[in-house]
Amino acid sequence: MEKIGLLIDTTSLTRKDILQYEFIKVAPLGVTVEGVLYQEPDLSYDDMMKHLSEGKKMMTSQPAPGEFLKLYDEYHQMGYTHVMVVTLSEKISGTYQSAVIAKSMVDYPMEISVHSPKVASFGVALGIAILAEDIKNGISFAALEEKYLKVYENAHVMFTLSNLMHLFRGGRLSKVAALLGTVLRIKPIVEMIDGKLQLTKKERTNLACFNIFMESIKEYVGKYDKVYIDIVQLNRPEWADKLKAEVNEKYPHVVINMSAAVSPVFLVHLGDQGFGIAILGL
């Protein structure tokens, strides 16, 4: 009989319900603050807000293959026969590669599949919540592999930020673009395109960004029977609440999750102010 585990990384811990499943394990990414390395779980949201406000020098790092191998061993010792690994996009992190290297080091009979969807953070978490319920309900591993493809086939992440300098420091945006955007108070729309973060639009107001998000939700509702969204806000609860109210009014069948934070790794790259959505359709 199959016993299936689901292994993710800490950047996908944007919603509390994910850790309710005993078959989910988590590989930690790291954040270096002024030369001191921490694993993500060791940095609280308040810690990160303090570091960001003080302008601390921070860098991020992926888990070493040994971290994944340790977790594979734990699954094996607990009698798991299959493990699905879902990391953030391999285009923005080496986490996926670490998981693959660790898989090549396994010398016991356990089937492991390693996946990297073209989204990250709350975009991965949105799909993980669906896959976890399927595992809980007894899905076969073969069917789970098929469901993974369907879940992440059209998954998308888009958001706006109040300060572009964090994207520059993380190497995701040129210094000129970041400075111009900050000085001119431009509200960027950042999307994950083919697994990479890209600045796709430049708006003047949060309302304009809000309207773009709603238009994207409208497109998904027109294409798919089931639509799931995660509304994320970083110190912008008023815009998250406005999005939720608008979606509930116009599209009451859409399944909504609200997230009030991203992991420390993404706070390093995105900063502490913004809002946006992850969305997928089935």
Structure tokens at 37: 């390395």
Please state, as a whole number, how many other Cβ atoms lie within 10 Å of the Cβ of residue 79: 10
Average of per-residue pLDDT across 91-99 = 96
Q: How many domains does the chain have?
A: 2
Which pLDDT belongs to residue 88?
A: 97
Q: What region, left, alpha or beta, does residue 34 occupy, with left being phi > 0 and alpha being psi -120 to 50 degrees?
A: left
**Domain shared by 213 and 243, yes or no:** yes
Instruction: Check if the beta carbon of residue 265 is closer than 8 Å to that of residue 63.
Output: no
Give the tokens for residue 117: 């969807």
Confidence (pLDDT) at 169: 59
Q: Give 134's pLDDT tier (boundaries 50, 70, 90).
A: very high
Q: Which residues pair with 198 in a beta bridge?
A: 191
Q: What's the rounded mean pLDDT across residues 26-52?
A: 94
Quick one: 170 and 140 in the same domain?
no
Count of Cβ atoms closer than 10 Å to residue 142 Cβ: 10
Could you tell me if 125 and 178 lie in one domain? no
Burial zone of 195 (CB within 10 Å; 0-12 exposed, 13-18 middle, 19+ buried): middle
Same domain, 40 and 164: no
Q: How far is CA 58 from the centre of its chain?
A: 19
Q: Which residues pair with 201 in a beta bridge?
A: 189
For residues 169 and 182, the answer to whether their CB atoms sit within 8 Å is no
CATH number of the domain that residue 200 is part of: 3.30.1180.10
- The domain in which residue 38 lies consists of 4-152
- Final residue of a structural domain among 152, 185, 215: 152
**Reported confidence tier of residue 165, pLDDT bands at 50, 70, 90:** low
Angstrom distance (rounded) from CA 261 to CA 30: 17
Indicate if 97 and 47 belong to the same structural domain. yes
176 and 256, same structural domain? yes
Question: Which residue, of 152, 184, 216, is where some domain finishes?
Answer: 152
142 and 262 co-located in one domain: no
Q: Are residues 218 and 120 in the same domain?
A: no
Residue 145 sits in the same domain as residue 14? yes
**Cβ atoms of 214 and 246 closer than 8 Å:** yes
Q: What is the pLDDT of residue 180?
A: 54
Q: Per the structure block, which two tokens stand in for 168?
A: 């520059």
- Tell me, yes or no, whether 201 and 250 share the same domain: yes
Q: pLDDT tens digit string along 108-123?
A: 999 999 999 999 999 9
Residues 22 and 134 in one domain: yes
Percent of residues, the chain, with pLDDT higher than 70: 92
Question: 95: domain CATH number?
Answer: 3.40.50.10170
Q: What is the pLDDT of residue 204?
A: 85
The pLDDT of residue 187: 84
152, 171, 201: which is the final residue of a domain?
152
Name which of 120, 111, 48 is nearest 84 in CA terms. 111
Do 183 and 139 share a domain, yes or no? no
Contact 27/68 with Cβ under 8 angstroms? yes
